[in-house]
Every structure is written in structure tokens, then in C-alpha cells.
Amino acid sequence: MNSNLDIAKAYIELFNDRTAVAAQFLPFWHEEIQFRELPSLIAPHGSNRNRNVMAAGIAQDAQILTRQQYTIFNAIESGDTVVLEVTWEGDLAIPFGAVPAGATLRAHIAMFLEFVDGCIIRQRNYDCYEPLLVTATA
């Protein structure tokens, strides 16, 4: 039997696989999963998502990013909760506001995953994005 920490690491690694599709994420998510993204530079009002919205987001990410990489720097498991400290990088496939396609976004993330029966039932992300650098064009 895998620990919740092992499951969390496999879940994060799946995001690094650019060929992964939404169906591959479903076994990680409890039917009643609640995802809360706290306000950040990219999502100033934050967001709340259910399983269906999360699955749709996987397909959307594939169109917005040419690459993404999550790197876990610290992980703590306590009871049914796993806390991950990760860095994330994503290369834009399309412009994001004034940031051109091809630019790399970076964030430092604290991720809280709560488990029930080996599935994530609640996820809270605190995403701290590095400043978006815009290169002026002539």
C-alpha cells in the first residue's frame, strides 16, 4: 500500500508528463475533491474548482503551456495531510497579457493535499509567482 506522500509525489510527477491527459489524473482525485487556489499574481481573486473543472483545466494547460516542470523541495506527511513545497516553471505557448509566447513563468508553491481512502479530497495551493518580465519590442 502506498503512503499518501507516495501518492502525492506520483500526482505531481504526472503534471510533468506533457503527454498526460485528464483521465490519468482522475484516480488521484476523490469524487468530491475541492481545489482552492489562493489569490496570486496570475489569479488575483483565487479560484475554487471541482473535479470536472480540474479535469478541463488539464486540457487547457496543454494549450497554454509548451512545457511545465514541478520540482518538490520539501514534503511533510502528517496523518491524512501532505504538505509540499515546490517550484514550478511553465513555458508559454501563447502570450499572457503583455508577456510573449515562449516566456517562462516561475512560481514557488506551498501545496496542501488532504486524503481520504488514498485519494485527494482537498487541495489548497499558495502560488507565489516571480515577477512577469516583459521584453519591449521595437
In a domain, 134, yes or no: no
In a domain, 135, yes or no: no
Question: Residue 89: enclosing H or E segment and its boundaries?
Answer: strand 81-92
d(CA 70, CA 87): 6
pLDDT of 47 above 70? yes
Which range marks the domain in which residue 29 is found? 4-129
Question: Residue 115: enclosing H or E segment and its boundaries?
Answer: strand 104-116
Q: What is the pLDDT of residue 113?
A: 99
The grid coordinates listed for 118 are 488514498
In a domain, 42, yes or no: yes
Scanning the structure block, which residue is given the C-alpha cell 503551456? 65
Question: Residue 4: enclosing H or E segment and its boundaries?
Answer: helix 4-16
Q: What is the pLDDT of residue 138?
A: 42
In a domain, 137, yes or no: no
Q: What pLDDT digit, counting tens, does each position of 49-95 carry?
A: 999 999 999 989 889 999 999 999 999 999 999 999 999 999 999 99
109 against 133, higher pLDDT: 109
In a domain, 15, yes or no: yes
In a domain, 29, yes or no: yes
Q: What are phi and psi of 38, to 5 degrees?
A: -75, 155
Q: What is the pLDDT of residue 26?
A: 98
In a domain, 136, yes or no: no
The grid coordinates listed for 99 are 508577456
In a domain, 26, yes or no: yes
pLDDT of 101 above 80? yes
CB atoms within 10 A of CB 129: 15
Residue 136's pLDDT band (cuts 50, 70, 90): very low
Q: What is the pLDDT of residue 134?
A: 61
Domain count, the chain: 1
- CATH code for position 44: 3.10.450.50
